[in-house]
Amino acid sequence: MWREIVEVFPSAELRNPVDSGTLDRVESALGQPLPGDLRSFLLESDGLADEYGTDIIWTVERILSDNLSFRTDEQYKSLYMAFDSLIFFGDNGGGDQFAFVRRPERNEVFVWDHETDSRNLVSPSLERYVHSALESDGDDWYR
């Protein structure tokens, strides 16, 4: 399904899929299930980059490492609200991060603004997020 959605954008870069065992280990390490759409995407492609090299969807390795960092970094804890309820999975290349809310579980995509610590709804689904990001020509489409 995801490859068909993304392939209409010739500049999008898909990668090899991730196996379900790897995703299970990531979920265990984060203590939260990945959203269903994100999990199904990763089973088809380990991340997604646009023509500018921006990681619209991070690799599973980066999803794990960045989320653990956001949750444990003492400097982040002193500057920002807690990140434990979020699973970050992509960015805009300029510092803003995209995430799903996991407590309570939601399927919409939010953006975390690194300058204001705001968390705002930007897309009703991962599919719409992918379309919006790939159609944007590198602009901050979510503002």
Q: State the number of CA atoms in the 13 A half-sphere of 35 facing the CB.
A: 23
**Which CATH architecture best describes the domain 2-135?**
3-Layer(aba) Sandwich (3.40)
Q: Please give the DSSP secondary-structure letter assigned to residue 21.
A: H
Least confident of 44-48, 91-95, 117-121: 91-95
**In this predicted model, what pLDDT tens digit does every residue of 41-59 receive, in sequence order?**
999 999 999 888 889 999 9
Q: What's the pTM?
A: 0.93
Alpha-carbon distances, residue 44 vs 15, 37, 63 (angstroms): 8, 11, 16
Within 8 A by CB and 6+ apart from 20, the residues are 43
pLDDT (0 to 100) of residue 108: 97
Residue ranges per structural domain of the chain: 2-135
Reply yes or no on whether the pLDDT at 138 is more than 80: no
